[in-house]
Amino acid sequence: MTQTSVDVQQQPSGTQTEGAGVSVLPELPVERGSARKPGEEESTSVSNLDRWLARRLLAATGRLPIAIELWDGEQLTVSDESPRFRLRIADRAALWLLAFDPDLQFGELYSDGRLEVEGGLLEFLETVDRALPLSHSNWLSTFIRRARRWLRHNTLARSKANVHHHYDLGNDFYKLWLDEQMLYTCAYFPRPDCSLEEAQVAKMDHVCRKVRLKPGDLVVEAGCGWGALALHMARHYGVKVKAYNISHEQIVYARERARAEGLDDRVEFIEDDWRNIRGTYDAFVSVGMLEHVGPENYRLLGDVIHNCLKPEGLALLHSIGRNVAYPLNAWVDRRIFPGAHPPSLRQIMDILEGWQFSVLDIENLRLHYAKTLEHWLARFEDHVEFIRDMFDDRFIRMWRLYLAASVASFRTGGLQLFQVVFTHPLNNNIPWTREHLYRD
Amino acid sequence: MTQTSVDVQQQPSGTQTEGAGVSVLPELPVERGSARKPGEEESTSVSNLDRWLARRLLAATGRLPIAIELWDGEQLTVSDESPRFRLRIADRAALWLLAFDPDLQFGELYSDGRLEVEGGLLEFLETVDRALPLSHSNWLSTFIRRARRWLRHNTLARSKANVHHHYDLGNDFYKLWLDEQMLYTCAYFPRPDCSLEEAQVAKMDHVCRKVRLKPGDLVVEAGCGWGALALHMARHYGVKVKAYNISHEQIVYARERARAEGLDDRVEFIEDDWRNIRGTYDAFVSVGMLEHVGPENYRLLGDVIHNCLKPEGLALLHSIGRNVAYPLNAWVDRRIFPGAHPPSLRQIMDILEGWQFSVLDIENLRLHYAKTLEHWLARFEDHVEFIRDMFDDRFIRMWRLYLAASVASFRTGGLQLFQVVFTHPLNNNIPWTREHLYRD
């Protein structure tokens, strides 16, 4: 597989850029080159139809400063500005695949090294995302928009099969780029310059305060990952926790942590599905599971919460979301992430309305997730040589695309992060204001 | 019209009861009596069919401790407890009207004095509201539920015609029971024991902070009432405001206040509809107007906000709402409050999704509106003798029912109060956290 210049590595890794604006890159030096594999047969020569297709593809992005470099080294642009990004397309088939099925092919071609992005992968994705959301449709821009959607879906929605596949990657892989407590969900940065470790602890406290934990409470957590939040609650809030997860590997890991800390009498990790939650609790929390539940199960999730939440209990759902629901691309739904879906607030109401749950508080932490992902991406790149010993180049390119596209989506509003606090409709034992979240 | 014991006046008026729980009243002394007008012909005698109907009505409330006293003094109850409330029904027609069309008739009969509630009107409404929302349906409970809905709709949804009718009541009337700055919307009580005046000022500051006003900003307010918020913004935040309102009387009043304070160069009160908002602004705020917009206009409202909000502007909608949308009763819609509607969050998404607005923050101030209304009701009762000089007894009974039913609805979750902050999807100049709302 071709090793071309790797875009994100051009950025200083390990350091965090401030905020979530678009970086303005210095103008690109124009280098001639080809993404073609060395020693391979020369691609067929470029036809006028190829050029027309490439130009339409560029025009559909709203004439952004992007050049396409075709397989013979020919460069095309439809922008009046000097290009800040160059898409290097390795062969005619790649161009046509990209044009006609970008939903599928952007990620496939990028992963295979048949599509290269120069000028910074993250910046490219962010620039395209920022330009497209509200542009007018034509047949090609619709393709591009579907490509953008695909990126988002592909990188952030994960089917159960994919979840298991991801976990089969092993804890050692995640330890290389997650925080030390292994939280694989959006952190909360009280200040933008907090470390990832600080921000993950702050996120756990933010959640605990939102559901107003008090000593002696019994808490249920749906989808507990490697167990950090459940352990944090028991350790710092004096509560007992039942934490559900269908991942055997994570449950085993979490149980070991509980034993090592002497918290196994207060935190029970249960290898089971949220549908099988039993008992009644003072608080229900779920951080980063809802994306995998699927809208078709929202009513059922509402039933489960209704049944397990005490009359004065508070519930919190923390989930990636959208400003408006996108229909899931059929291929993604079938092959990549069956059943996964970042919901819009409208869709979240499907969980809540059946039992007339009262929404007390919704907070959007979109830029906090962009920053969390910046940390992960930087740590990933810092450890890419270790990772290369574990996985092949295609895996690294996929993972890089996943992280970079996620940063871009959170920066440009294609994805949101909602924390929704709610309770039974008749519960008046609710926080009088939200000031208690910000004390200390 | 009969003057029977007036229920709410049995409570200490002028003082505020803490919290929003159901007051436990001392057991009612059983008094025999009749709501029949003195000197009137005796009603026809009570039949077995009347008794059956009254019992079905009681059973439909879930066997609450309520007695019905019929026009001949006969009392019926289906509860095992001693009755805490007594509904006195003055004649057979009233019973049958109540049973068959409670949506319309509860308020009508109460206003006319043909239906009396002993044991506290507010407590009665709250007890019934609390018992009914999730009970199982039968034909009579459906009637009752519709009655409850009617109460809510009747008291809180106001058609334009009704709005004008209300304003024709004159500022002197409102001055008797609103705060001194004449805010006719939910206050924000940083502490439950704040005065109404303090809480209305705190509400205005809460709104200003949520949209992060800074000196020099240009703000548009849709539906400005008597102008208090617009003036507060100009006075304390150094901004310029264009404030829209279709009520001539309120606009005249607001302009006078602006002139008297020397703020008329910075606050422009515009007698026009929100649909005609022109210009672009750093902030859009609307406090207590959305209830009157009607779901059929939500997309248009979204368009108006999209057009008038600068790329980095923040918008706030403050509105009475519901956990789930109720279909508006046909009679209410036609005769009482055409077009008015407290939206569910799902419905609010109709405003926001068309332009992919990003929801940053939703806060539910339900119990703050219950407390606000408790203050209004207490002040109303404190001034009832003044009001009796201005209006007839039917008006006073209607107004009392409106205020009491509103308190009950906010206490029992039939109504919510949402503050929704949102912005354009690409705006990253958003508050990093919400801590700034709680400083000082």
Residues B323 and B419 in one domain: yes
The domain total for chain A is 2
Looking at the complex, report in whole angstroms how far the Cα of residue A237 sits from the nearest Cα belonging to chain B. Answer: 22
B143 lies in some domain: no
B356 and A CB contact within 8 Å: yes
Q: What is the pLDDT of residue A327?
A: 56
ipTM > 0.95 (yes/no):
no
Percent of chain B at pLDDT > 70 equals 78
Q: Whole-number mean pLDDT of chain B?
A: 83
Residues B232 and B324 in one domain: yes
Residues A180 and A282 in one domain: yes
B367 and A CB contact within 8 Å: yes
The pLDDT of A260-281, averaged and rounded, is 97
Q: What is the pLDDT of residue A133?
A: 55
Tokens 């019929």 sit on residue: B70
Which residues of chain B are within 8 Å of residue A428 when distances are taken between CB atoms?
A: 19-21, 367, 411
* Sheet bearing A115-118, strands edge to edge: A75-77, A66-69, A85-89, A115-118
Question: Which residue among A192, A359, A367 sits closest to B364, beta carbon to beta carbon?
Answer: A359
Residues B101 and B245 in one domain: no
Residues B340 and B409 in one domain: yes
Q: How far is Cα A261 from Cα A227, in angstroms, rounded to an integer?
A: 12
Q: In chain B, which among 413-432 make CB contacts under 8 A with chain A? A: 413, 416, 418, 425-428, 430, 432
A436 and B CB contact within 8 Å: no
Indicate whether B29 pLDDT > 80: no
Q: How far is Cα B61 from Cα B76, in angstroms, rounded to an integer?
A: 14
**How would you classify the pairing of strands B240-245 and B267-271?**
parallel
A153 lies in some domain: no
Residues A104 and A182 in one domain: no
Residue bearing the bigger pLDDT, A326 or B91: B91
Indicate whether B20 pLDDT > 70: no
Q: Residue B131 contacts by C-beta under 8 Å, 6 or more apart in sequence?
A: B61, B62, B64
Range from A139-148, A376-385, B104-113 that averages highest in pLDDT: A376-385
Residue A359's closest chain B neighbor by CA?
B364
A142 lies in some domain: no
Encoded tokens for A333: 């739904």
Residues B309 and B189 in one domain: yes
Residues A106 and A191 in one domain: no
Per-residue pLDDT band at B106 (split at 50, 70, 90): confident
Q: In chain B, which among 126-185 make CB contacts under 8 A with chain A? A: 130, 133-134
Q: What is the pLDDT of residue A153?
A: 46
The CATH number of whichever domain residue A42 belongs to comes to 3.30.1050
Percent of chain B at pLDDT > 90 equals 62
B73 and A CB contact within 8 Å: no
Residues B176 and B110 in one domain: no
Residues B351 and B433 in one domain: yes
B434 and A CB contact within 8 Å: yes
**Domain C-terminal end among A82, A114, A131:** A131
Which residues of chain A are within 8 Å of residue B190 when distances are taken between CB atoms?
A: 433, 435
The CATH number of whichever domain residue A269 belongs to comes to 3.40.50.150
Looking at the complex, report in whole angstroms how far the Cα of residue A185 sits from the nearest Cα belonging to chain B. Answer: 18
Residues B372 and B225 in one domain: yes
- Name the residue range of residue A40's domain: 8-131
A2 and B CB contact within 8 Å: no
**Domain C-terminal end among A131, A153, A186:** A131
HSE-CB for B24 with a 13 A CA cutoff: 1
Cβ distance of A189 and B432 shorter than 8 Å: yes
The pLDDT of A98-103, averaged and rounded, is 80
N-term to C-term CA, chain A:
53
The pLDDT of A133-162, averaged and rounded, is 47
Residues B173 and B41 in one domain: no
What is the DSSP secondary-structure string of B279-338?
S-EEEEEEES-GGGT-GGGHHHHHHHHHHHEEEEEEEEEEEEEBSS--PPPHHIIIII-T
pTM, full prediction: 0.85
